[in-house]
Amino acid sequence: MVASRTTDASDGFTEAQIELLAGIVPALTLVFMLRTTHRTARTVITTYLGTHAAERVLAGNIVRGRAEPIRAVVWYSDLIGFTRISDTASADTVLVLLNDYAEAQVEEIEAHGGHVLKFIGDGILAIFLHEDTTLACKRALEPPNIGTASPR
């Protein structure tokens, strides 16, 4: 970690001020490192578990066997013709396609109140939580403004 200091005092920093700054640098470094690590961990957990599950894990709900009943609509979607595409396109092209597809789907799912649970190749598994399953269905079936993927 690098830090620089400046002052508008014509004589610069006093020795006492330099000692004070030097004394607080280790604490500031620790704070910055913890914040950076926390932000990275939150991003990784959210990426791999989805927003809803990540929040539960970060809140400490990580005991194996602990469960809570939910009422939800399950969403699954995949790309039509993906096997043919992956057989004929380059790996780089397929990766770009998958990333664009996942980004568009996740944005729409989350915009409609859903939570992505898992990526399965070209498939996405999500849930729409709500005690009123009619409302959850409505959220899941609201028309997305994306490609040719369709909910199943």
| pLDDT, tens only, 79-98 | 899 999 999 999 999 999 99
Q: Please state the φ and ψ torsions of residue 148, each to the nearest 5 degrees.
A: -110, 10
Distance CA 152, CA 147 (A): 15
The residues facing 123 across adjacent strands are 120
pLDDT over 90 at 151, yes or no: no
Kindly indicate the confidence band of residue 10, based on its pLDDT and cuts at 50, 70 and 90: very high
Q: Is 62 exposed, middle or buried (0-12, 13-18, 19+ CB in 10 A)?
A: exposed
- Choice between 67 and 125, residue whose per-residue pLDDT is larger: 125
Instruction: Report the pLDDT value the prediction gives residue 145, as an integer from 0 to 100.
Output: 61
Q: Give me the chain's average pLDDT, please.
A: 86
Mean pLDDT of 27-40: 91
Q: Which structure tokens are listed for 112?
A: 């409609």
What are the residues whose beta carbons fall under 8 Å from the beta carbon of 112, sequence distance 6 or more?
Answer: 128, 139, 140, 142, 144
Residue 48: half-sphere exposure toward Cβ, Cα within 13 Å: 6
List, edge to edge, every strand of the sheet that includes 72-78.
Answer: 114-120, 123-129, 72-78, 150-151
Tokens 């789907």 belong to residue? 105
Kindly indicate the confidence band of residue 58, based on its pLDDT and cuts at 50, 70 and 90: confident
Residue in 134, 131, 133, 115 with CA at minimum distance from that of residue 57: 115
Distance CA 137, CA 127 (A): 10
Distance CA 104, CA 110 (A): 10
Q: Please give the share of the chain, as a percent, with pLDDT higher than 70.
A: 93
